[in-house]
Structures are given as structure tokens and as C-alpha cells.
């Protein structure tokens, strides 16, 4: 056990075996670390699954009930994402068991980052995740004198000031649907859906979609799918499901969201049906996008899924037994480490100078990369009975270690 500065809380690291993860690992993660906040008793976790070039990347989430098992699953997923997109970095994740709506949440996040500072200074590149928007974690990093949450990578660059300017310009560039840094992940999910639509020969304008979650990932995916001409017929937030079989006015509804990603029910048209939150999973649609919480589709509810394609915009959205059941029914589950990896891929392209603050350049690159991967996976999946996830794992191949990484 390692004791940090007592003012920062208690940190425990080790190789203890957690409960069985959602997708059973073949190896142990590089590091597990847990921390207890001295002021609130909140518990936070860091899991570094892999280190590549001495770096690992993955967001920090905050939600009541967040567990070490969950963070470990997510860290493993980050390793899969960076491998899928051939990024010169490993996978990690942070998670805090605390309600992000609590007035003390900013202090908890600040103390967690301060406790994890040895990793955030040199090895762990973090970003937004569930309950922690990018602007909030950037404010914490600024308060702690690290400037921006990509600090560990930026500090390695040839010109940290120039790299910081490039990162900030890219994150805040104005794109259709919102700031580029907020919408790029959802754009990638939408491109994954459109690639699947093309692969299956569906007419985009007759393709129906249901989205669970209207945060940056789910909201962005819904916006770009609506913009492409698909019919988004169901949107679910924490308050329930909005349903209109003729198609929802996605941009208008998203405009009414509050800071917690909840749509203002007073501004929902009378023609829209107000259904229970869980109804989105059983909506009669072609594509279901779980974009809210992990483990949303389980053995208990997967029989209600009628969509022929599930696209995981949330991390670890489908449990293994649910995925097996869906696969047996001929329902393809496009795994998170492909479908929602656009955000992390884009962030590293921005760090490495492959893209800049021009949204058109970012959209063109991400769209092409996502279409190639998804069409190839679905083609291979159509030839066999394995889950799409197994096909994607097989396609990863061996990772180079990137002994040197050049960030301009």
C-alpha cells in the first residue's frame, strides 16, 4: 500500500483480483489504484491497462456507484481503441463514485486529480467522460497548474505552448452541431452507423434510429444522423424516452438540454410520446445506439431489443451474455472500441498535428477511417457466427511499442 499526502486522501495500489469483468481479460492490467477522498469519503479509481511509449489515455468519469470493475473494463476498452486506430499510446481510465450533480463534485474531482498527479504529469492523458465535461476537467487542470487535461502528452512535445494552442483551438473550433471537441465522438458514431447502413444496402432516409443518452456522444450521434437524413424516432435521457415514429426534430430538442443533458419537457412538441426511460431499448428501429451508461443491455432486457444493429456509443454498453444472445438472433453488436473510438483517435491526431481546427479536415479523416473499419468488420462478420467484437479483436494484430513518440 502507498500512502500519499494525507491531505489528498488514501491511495491503495496493487494486483488484487476484482470481480469478473464484463469481457474477461486474458491478462492483468498494468496498474490498479484506488483513492478515498478525505472530505466526502468518495472513492476514486485509476486503472492503467497498458502503457505504450510510456503513455496511456482515457477519460475520467464521475457517477454514483462507479466501481473498480467498471473502470477496469473501460481501461481495457481504451487499449482496444488505441490498438484499433493504431495510436502510439496505451489505455487507461479514471472513475469516481460520486454524484456529479452534488455541489461538492468539483472539489472531489480536483482532489482526485491532485492525488493522481504523478500519473497525470507524466503518463496518463485524460479527458471528459460520463459526468465530467471537458471544460470542467480543463478547469481542474488549470487550477492545479497543468493547463489542460492532455498535459502528460503536451509536456513531451517539441513546443508545449504551440501544442497547447493547437489543442485548444481544435477543441473549441465551431463545427455543425457544436464545438468540434464536443461533437467529434458523436460524428464518429454516426459515421459508423452510416457505414453499416451502406453495407446492408439500406435507404438512409428510411432507416430508423433510437438513441439512449443525449450527452456529447449520444447527442452528437443523433444530430449527425438526423442531418444525414435518417429518422431518429426515439431519444432517451434520465427523465424518460421521447418517441415519434415519423421522426424527431433532433436539433430543436437538443437545444433545450440543461447542463446535465436533460431535455426540457416543457418544450417538447405535443405530438411526441413521453415513454419510460427503458422503452428506448425495445423501440422498433433498425439501429439502436446505447450512448448513456455501461452495461445498459443485459441478459434481463436483451430479448426486448428488436433493432438489427446495436452500435455501442457508450463504453461497455452490452454485457457478454446479452451480446451472445443478440448474436444468436442475428443482431450485430458493433463494439465500443470501434464505434465510439473517434473521439480518442481525433484527440491524438490533434496532438500529433495530423488535424487542426478545421472541422472539414477532421470530419473527412474520421469518416474515411470509420467507414473502412466498420464495412470490413461487418463483411467479415457476415461470413461467420462469431460476435462482431471477436472479429474486431482478431483484426487488431500485434501492437508496435513506439519507443519514440514525436509530438510537434
Please indicate, yes or no, whether residues 326 and 388 belong to a single structural domain of this protein: yes
**E strands, 307-360, in order:** 309-311, 332-334
Please indicate, yes or no, whether residues 227 and 359 belong to a single structural domain of this protein: yes
Please indicate, yes or no, whether residues 210 and 101 belong to a single structural domain of this protein: no
Task: Cell 483551438: give the residue.
Answer: 169
Please indicate, yes or no, whether residues 33 and 101 belong to a single structural domain of this protein: yes
pLDDT at 395: 83
Please indicate, yes or no, whether residues 387 and 289 belong to a single structural domain of this protein: yes
pLDDT at 65: 97
Please indicate, yes or no, whether residues 142 and 211 belong to a single structural domain of this protein: no
Please indicate, yes or no, whether residues 188 and 318 belong to a single structural domain of this protein: yes
From 122, 156, 190, the end of a domain falls on 156
pLDDT at 259: 84
**Longest Cα separation, the chain:** 60
Read off the CATH number of the domain in which 101 is found: 3.40.50.10860
Please indicate, yes or no, whether residues 133 and 47 belong to a single structural domain of this protein: yes
CB-CB contact of 34 with 45 (8 Å): yes
Please indicate, yes or no, whether residues 228 and 363 belong to a single structural domain of this protein: yes
Domain count along the chain: 2
> Of residues 32, 61, 81, 93, which has the active-site annotation?
93
In a domain, 163, yes or no: no
From 94, 124, 156, the end of a domain falls on 156
Q: Which residues of the chain have pLDDT under 70?
A: 1-26, 397-404
pLDDT at 327: 95
In a domain, 406, yes or no: no
Residues in contact with 41: Cβ distance below 8 Å, sequence separation at least 6, in sequence order: none
The model's pTM is: 0.90
In a domain, 79, yes or no: yes
93 as an active site residue: the answer is yes
Please indicate, yes or no, whether residues 148 and 184 belong to a single structural domain of this protein: no
C-alpha 367 chain-centroid distance: 17
The count of other CB atoms within 10 Å of the CB of residue 60 is: 30
Q: How far is CA 245 from CA 65, 225, 303, 305, in A?
A: 34, 16, 21, 17
3-state class (DSSP) for residue 366? helix
In a domain, 37, yes or no: yes
Q: For residue 301, give its domain range.
A: 178-396
CB-CB contact of 78 with 91 (8 Å): yes
In a domain, 171, yes or no: no
Grid coordinates given for 83:
490498438
In a domain, 98, yes or no: yes
The count of other CB atoms within 10 Å of the CB of residue 255 is: 11
The count of other CB atoms within 10 Å of the CB of residue 174 is: 10
Please indicate, yes or no, whether residues 96 and 50 belong to a single structural domain of this protein: yes
pLDDT at 401: 61
Q: What angle do CA 50, 171, 231 make, to 5 degrees?
A: 95
Please indicate, yes or no, whether residues 133 and 269 belong to a single structural domain of this protein: no
Task: Cell 446492408: give the residue.
Answer: 200
In a domain, 169, yes or no: no
Read off the CATH number of the domain in which 376 is found: 3.40.50.720
In a domain, 299, yes or no: yes
Amino acid at each position: 500500500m502507498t500512502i500519499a499526502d494525507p491531505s489528498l486522501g488514501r491511495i491503495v495500489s496493487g494486483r488484487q483480483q476484482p470481480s469478473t469483468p464484463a469481457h474477461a481479460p486474458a491478462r492483468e492490467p498494468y496498474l490498479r489504484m484506488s483513492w478515498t477522498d478525505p472530505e466526502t469519503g468518495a472513492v476514486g479509481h485509476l486503472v492503467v491497462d497498458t502503457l505504450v511509449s510510456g503513455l496511456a489515455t482515457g477519460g475520467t468519469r464521475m457517477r454514483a456507484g462507479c466501481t473498480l470493475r467498471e473502470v477496469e473494463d473501460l481501461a481495457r476498452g481504451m487499449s482496444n481503441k488505441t490498438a484499433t486506430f493504431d495510436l502510439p499510446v496505451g489505455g487507461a481510465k479514471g472513475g469516481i463514485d460520486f454524484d456529479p450533480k452534488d455541489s461538492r463534485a468539483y472539489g472531489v474531482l480536483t482532489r482526485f486529480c491532485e492525488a493522481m498527479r504523478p500519473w497525470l504529469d507524466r503518463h496518463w492523458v485524460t479527458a471528459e467522460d460520463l459526468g465530467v465535461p471537458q471544460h470542467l476537467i480543463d478547469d481542474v487542470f488549470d487550477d492545479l497548474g497543468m493547463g489542460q487535461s492532455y498535459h502528460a502528452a503536451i509536456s513531451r512535445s517539441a513546443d508545449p505552448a504551440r501544442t497547447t494552442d493547437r489543442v485548444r483551438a481544435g477543441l473549441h473550433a465551431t463545427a455543425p452541431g457544436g464545438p468540434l471537441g464536443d461533437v467529434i465522438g458523436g460524428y464518429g458514431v454516426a459515421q459508423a452507423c452510416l457505414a453499416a447502413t451502406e453495407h446492408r444496402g439500406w435507404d438512409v432516409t428510411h432507416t430508423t434510429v433510437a438513441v439512449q443518452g443525449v450527452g456529447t456522444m449520444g447527442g452528437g450521434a443523433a444530430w449527425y444522423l438526423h442531418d444525414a437524413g435518417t429518422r431518429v424516432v426515439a431519444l432517451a435521457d434520465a427523465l424518460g424516452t421521447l418517441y415519434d415514429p415519423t421522426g424527431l426534430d433532433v436539433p430543436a430538442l437538443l437545444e433545450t438540454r440543461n447542463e446535465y443533458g436533460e431535455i426540457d419537457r416543457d418544450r417538447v412538441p405535443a405530438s411526441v410520446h413521453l415513454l419510460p426511460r427503458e422503452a428506448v431499448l425495445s423501440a422498433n428501429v433498425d439501429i439502436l445506439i446505447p450512448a448513456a451508461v455501461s452495461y445498459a443491455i443485459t441478459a434481463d432486457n436483451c430479448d426486448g431489443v428488436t433493432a438489427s444493429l446495436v452500435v455501442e456509443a457508450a463504453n461497455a454498453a452490452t454485457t457478454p451474455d446479452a451480446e451472445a444472445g443478440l448474436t444468436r438472433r442475428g443482431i450485430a453488436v458493433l463494439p465500443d472500441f470501434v464505434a465510439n473510438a473517434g473521439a480518442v483517435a481525433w484527440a491524438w491526431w490533434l496532438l500529433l498535428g495530423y488535424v487542426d481546427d478545421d472541422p472539414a479536415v477532421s470530419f473527412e479523416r474520421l469518416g474515411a477511417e470509420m467507414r473502412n473499419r466498420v464495412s470490413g468488420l461487418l463483411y467479415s462478420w457476415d461470413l461467420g457466427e462469431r460476435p462482431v467484437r471477436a472479429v474486431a479483436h482478431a483484426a487488431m494484430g500485434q501492437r508496435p511499442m513506439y519507443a519514440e513518440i514525436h509530438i510537434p
